């Protein structure tokens, strides 16, 4: 029933994960139930998942199956009500989260937003400013350092939120549909940028998306979740070597792999749609893209906006603070 952080010195619970080394994240029968009694919602699990250090794992699944809930558990924002999630941390704040709705502060300048995570970690002002500037440069936002979020396009705001998460150099990057609101062109550009960054710096990434294409382009592994309560249905390794770029999507092999994933997911999306009184799979879903948007999403955008991406606050009702990096 705990979210636990183990130190690099070795927690026996995290040992013995095979030749790739001990896992960075391990979920063991993780479950989350919201509410009590007749109104209880079994949102997640039991879910078992292991993510190795430096691995980029993409998670796909029907709307409402508990993907965001799982990410929030890993981030220490929400507690599991059953099972456990272990995070092997080498620093006090190992994870940074990028939210679908950006989660940036409208009253702070672009630079102050990017510096935020560094400020709360006590990085000296001069160094924090230099690191924020370097990431803004990298994201093509240098000239907007003193602008406010309302002066930026949606894509630029998302870049600010990515820069803010990356600026703290997190061991683990948790990304919840970060590109969902962007147009196709910008999405491809940011996918390429993210690939380049992660391939150069080997970060551990857990990336939730509704796009099978995105999952295949980005992931070392694609994890398919069932309809709520979300469990792991299958895991597949995209047959495309790294370094990889978004161009792999042009190949016939890519289409075949996407078809395989969609075959796994389709029944779950249909089950989810039927459960909420809708038709079977939507036309968008059949392509595996944007498969099942529009379901009720408590715990989604508004909820996420309340928590700064790089300084997650455990939910008050969750009991003692998650011992991240303890
Ligand atoms: N704070 C909450 N209180 C009550 N129920 C919640 C809460 N957060 C999530 N839920 C419920 O838990 C289930 C899983 O929600 P979650 O947001 O994790 O799904 P998801 O897989 O991320 O969906 P989507 O793909 O639409 O973003 C849903 O049924 C949702 O209504
Ligand atoms: Mg979600």
283 belongs to a structural domain: yes
Q: What is the distance in A from the centroid of ligand 2 to the CA of 44?
A: 12
Q: Which of 30, 39, 69, 212 to mutate to test the pocket of ligand 1 (most atoms within 8 A of CB)?
A: 69
Q: Pocket of ligand 1, candidates 27, 30, 41: which has the most ligand atoms within 8 Å of its Cβ, to mutate?
A: 41
User: Does some domain include residue 282?
Assistant: yes
Between the CA of 149 and the centroid of ligand 1 the distance, in Å, is 27
45: CA distance to ligand 2 center in Å? 15
The residue to mutate among 27, 31, 34, 302, having the most atoms of ligand 1 within 8 angstroms of its beta carbon, is: 34
Q: Is 261 helix (H, G, I), strand (E, B) or coil?
A: helix
Element (H, E) at 221: strand 221-225
Protein residues with CB under 6 Å of any ligand 1 atom: 34-35, 41, 43, 61, 63-69, 228, 295-300
Q: Is the pTM of this model over 0.75?
A: yes
Average pLDDT of span 21-25: 88
φ, ψ for residue 158, nearest 5 deg: -65, -35
Q: What is the count of structural domains for the chain?
A: 1
Q: Which two tokens stand for residue 5?
A: 């952080």
Identify whether 280 is part of a domain.
yes
In a domain, 237, yes or no: yes
Q: Which residues contact 58 (CB under 8 A, 6 or more apart)?
A: 207, 208, 209, 214, 215, 216, 218, 219, 221, 222, 223
Q: What's the domain range around 299?
A: 56-78+90-94+170-309
pLDDT over threshold 90, residue 176: yes
CATH of the domain at 234: 3.40.50
**Burial (CB count within 10 angstroms: exposed 0-12, middle 13-18, buried 19+), residue 185:** exposed
- 176 domain-assigned: yes
Task: Note whether residue 179 is domain-resident.
Answer: yes
Joined together, the tokens standing for residue 296 give 């009720």
Q: What is the pLDDT of residue 313?
A: 39
Going from the Cα of 273 to the center of ligand 2, the distance in angstroms, rounded, reads 16
d(CA 307, CA 122): 19
The answer to whether residue 248 is domain-embedded is yes
Domain-located, residue 26: no
Q: What is the mean pLDDT of the chain?
A: 80
d(CA 267, ligand 1 centre) in Å: 19
Tens digit of pLDDT for each residue in 119-171?
A: 988 999 999 999 999 999 988 899 999 999 999 988 888 889 888 988 988 89
pLDDT attached to residue 312: 37
């Amino acid at each position: 029933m705990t979210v636990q952080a183990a130190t690099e010195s070795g927690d026996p619970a995290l040992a013995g994960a095979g030749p790739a080394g001990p896992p960075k994240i391990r979920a063991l029968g993780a479950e989350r139930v919201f509410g009590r009694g007749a109104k209880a919602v079994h949102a997640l699990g039991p879910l078992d998942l292991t993510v190795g250090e430096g691995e980029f794992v993409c998670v796909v699944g029907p709307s409402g199956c508990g993907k965001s809930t799982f990410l929030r558990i890993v981030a220490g924002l929400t507690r599991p009500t059953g099972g456990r999630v272990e995070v092997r941390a080498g620093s006090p704040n190992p994870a940074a989260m990028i939210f679908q709705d950006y989660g940036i502060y409208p009253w702070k300048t672009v630079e102050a937003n990017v510096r935020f995570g560094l400020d709360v970690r006590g990085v000296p002002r001069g160094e924090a400013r230099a690191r924020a500037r370097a990431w803004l440069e990298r994201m093509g936002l240098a000239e907007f350092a003193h602008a406010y979020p309302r002066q930026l396009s949606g894509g630029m705001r998302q870049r600010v939120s990515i820069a803010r998460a990356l600026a703290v150099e997190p061991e683990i990057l948790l990304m919840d549909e970060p590109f969902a609101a962007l147009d196709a062109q910008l999405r491809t550009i940011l996918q390429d940028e993210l690939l380049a960054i992660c391939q150069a710096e080997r970060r551990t990434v857990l990336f939730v998306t509704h796009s099978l294409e995105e999952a295949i382009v980005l992931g070392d592994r694609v994890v398919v979740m069932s309809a709520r309560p979300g469990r792991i249905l299958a895991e597949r390794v995209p047959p495309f070597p790294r370094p990889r770029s978004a161009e792999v999507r042009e190949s016939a092999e890519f289409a075949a792999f996407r078809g395989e994933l969609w075959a796994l997911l389709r029944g779950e999306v249909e089950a989810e749609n039927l459960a909420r009184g809708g038709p079977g799979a939507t036309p968008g879903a059949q392509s595996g893209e944007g498969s099942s948007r529009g379901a009720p999403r408590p715990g989604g955008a508004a909820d996420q906006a309340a928590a700064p991406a790089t300084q997650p606050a455990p939910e008050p009702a969750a009991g003692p603070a998650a011992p991240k990096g303890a």
